[in-house]
Chain A
Amino acid sequence: MSTSTLTEAPPPVPQPQSPEQPVRRTVPTRRRLVPYLLLLPGILWLVVFFALPLVYQASTSVQTGSLEEGFEVTWHFQTYWEALQEYYPQFIRSLLYAGTATVLCLLLGYPLAYLIAFKAGRWRNLLLVLVIAPFFTSFLIRTLAWKTILADGGAVVGALDALHVLDVTNWLGWTEGNRVLATPMAVVTGLTYNFLPFMILPLYTSLERIDGKLHEAAKDLYASPATTFRKVTFPLSMPGVVSGTLLTFIPASGDYVNAELLGSTDTKMVGNVIQSQFLRVLDYPTAAALSFILMAIVLLMVTVYIRRSGTEDLL
């Protein structure tokens, strides 16, 4: 589609017979069109594969009926209310798990990104490759591998048990009966593992951009290393913190693979509900309504978050 549009604008043909004036006038017109032509492929893609499905889902969410009799748009907004009422525990769990995983990603990712940006020297590129190395294996396979890692009687569970960590996590309700698999901790661990690179890379990018002279200036102006980090490095890395947390939190809150493979029926997230409503229960309106509620919640949270972090102009 885009090719036909692109060929509509011919390359400027030198017109020897006409004076300079008319040629000059056609060039700016072409220039004005160029940005739109460059946008076109992307816009078309988004319209076909994002905007149209979104409208379709929106209409599904206000339909009623059944698979046998067919669905019809009846503007039945009640579905939203019912879905929220029935599945609010899964919503809360989703946000809680995703939030915890995001915080863990930040705590694990920041020191690593800091090390790669400032201390790694010639190991920098190697470490960056290692950060993205997991992407060479499928997301599903990696998550399945965690099933083995966290398996009952495995080394990890044994070690945690021996260190009495499980006593604490049992008491907190993160694990149950000396097992890790099929507990909230397993799901959060999986989420943290899977989304960690999405936290590290933006953090690294924003840290790496900080001019080393600013650290020297801070030191020169009586800031100890800790104060330098608090007053200069961290504030300047805020764009990375914000984009990293968004890139982690948003997909994690809609994730269902980790809860499916590492969790139990007690750790179902909204993603799992949507998946089963769509594919097993075949209640399309409820599934669509749940999707929209999740989208609305995430959008609202993200907006408030960006406003409060004061990084609109940095993003």
Chain B
Amino acid sequence: MTQKSTGGDVRLSGISKTYGSFTAVHPLDLTVPQGSFFALLGASGCGKTTTLRMIAGLEDPTTGTVFLGDRDVTELPPYKRPVNTVFQSYALFPHLDIYENVAFGLRRRGIKSVKKQVGEMLDLVQLGDFARRKPHQLSGGQQQRVAVARALINHPQVLLLDEPLGALDLKLRRQMQLELKRIQTEVGITFIHVTHDQEEAMTMADTVAVMNAGRVEQLGAPAELYEHPRSTFVANFLGTSNLIEAEVVESGGTGPGAEIAVTAGGGKLRLPAGRSSAGGGSVGSKLLVGVRPEKISLALAEEAGSVPDGRNTVTGRIAASSFIGVSTQYVVDSPVGQGLEVYVQNTEHRDGLAPGADVVLHWNPDHTFGLDAAQDRTAGTEKVEDAT
């Protein structure tokens, strides 16, 4: 993050990979700025690992070019690329101790005195006391840190992480996310991180590329992707979205503050024209209107008058509720759609919000987004918790 030159950018140009008739990665252009923490996010089989392996040189691209800075490395074998990988299963050498595992890359490059560097690196990952242990004597989290140290010690131009936290339990994963982020900030090396865990990607990465079926669906900062999804896949894969099929009744202009109005289930909803990835739309055309569950407030039907003017409102009936602790999650059936999700912070006790109650859902129109109605509304909803 400290360096901002283009000298070390990773640039993929028209890169693709096909296995027989199966296309794992469609021609892809991608630039990862030097020093950034970049995440490739997607379900298993979306091509993210193949993309990573092509950068590492472990997979030959069918078409396209891989640039590291200005250098074309497409034809270079992996052992000649200034790139190192943290493998999904760590792939630590079982016959070598931790010290020798970490020193492996340095020794291969003919560096004789490795002691100081290995010591420093083991300290960085807080494993100084474990130098003479064998990998199988370490816990999963410790092995993971050895894998990071073994790659980082070579000061690669780019560090590739292939589902590095996939094998860890949830608590340890959280801890390692922060740890990796700390290390990345400390060393300032470009990290490209492949994961199927949207939370992990959003926690750690500066920029996230959401991949689906061999293509990048959308690329941007985590908050941007979350607030401005441009496809149903992104809307559903990152967090949860309520998607409502609607018809445009007032097409918005192009200026700032222009609004689109739509009807859904007999009610009228509004959204900023700038938040519709399908454009302003012409009157009578279809539009998918989306809103995140935590943006929605709930009011009982009899209190509908207390809803401030200017908010999008939808009536419905609570079908289910579950108490999560910090919030309560409601499932609401309404004329605009079945199973709308609403998350309400447990800031105060609310009587009457129980299954069967008639309610009004209301939210700020600015939190509404619009998507092209031609897409599969459920894309990205089947989340794979663990790709392994």
Contacts and interface: CB of A to CB of B under 8 A. Distances in A.
A27 interface: no
A236 interface: yes
Contacts of B83: 220
A211 B91 CA distance: 8
B150 A221 contact: yes
B58 A216 contact: yes
Nearest to A314: B95
A168 interface: no
A235 interface: yes
Contact of A220 (B78, B88, B94, B95): B78
Interface in A218-248: 218-224, 227, 231-232, 235-236, 238
A6 interface: no
B105 interface: yes
- The main secondary structure of chain A at its interface with chain B is helix
Interface in A156-196: none
Contact of B109 (A217, A218, A222, A236): A222
Contacts of A236: 94-95
Contacts of B323: none
Given A216-B58, A216-B78, A217-B85, A223 B91 contact: no
Given A222-B79, A222-B109, A222-B154, A217 B95 contact: no
Contacts of B104: 218, 221, 223, 231
Contacts of A238: 95
Contact of B85 (A211, A220, A224, A235): A220
A24 interface: no
Nearest to A224: B79
A219 B91 CA distance: 12
Contacts of B56: 220
Contacts, number: 61
A213 interface: yes
A220 B79 contact: yes
A217 B79 contact: no
A148 B93 CA distance: 49
Given A219-B58, A222-B79, A213 B87 contact: yes
Contacts of A216: 58, 78, 85, 87, 91
B93 A219 contact: no
A122 to B, nearest CB: 15
Contacts of B91: 211, 213-214, 216-217
B89 interface: yes
Nearest to B100: A231
Interface string B292-332: 00000000000000000000000000000000000000000
B84 interface: yes
Nearest to B56: A220
Question: Which of A213, A235, A238 counts the most chain B CB atoms within 10 A?
Answer: A213
B350 interface: no
Contacts of B105: 221-222
B191 to A, nearest CB: 15
Contacts of B92: 217
Contacts of A217: 85, 87, 91-93
B288 to A, nearest CB: 42
Contacts of B88: 213
Contacts of A232: 93, 95
A221 B154 contact: yes
A74 B154 CA distance: 72
Given A214-B93, A223-B104, 20 more contacts: A211-B91, A213-B91, A214-B91, A216-B58, A216-B78, A216-B87, A217-B87, A218-B93, A218-B104, A219-B57, A219-B77, A219-B78, A220-B56, A220-B84, A220-B151, A221-B84, A221-B104, A222-B154, A223-B79, A236-B95
Interface of A: 211, 213-214, 216-224, 227, 231-232, 235-236, 238
8 contacts: A216-B87, A219-B57, A219-B79, A220-B56, A220-B84, A221-B108, A222-B79, A236-B94
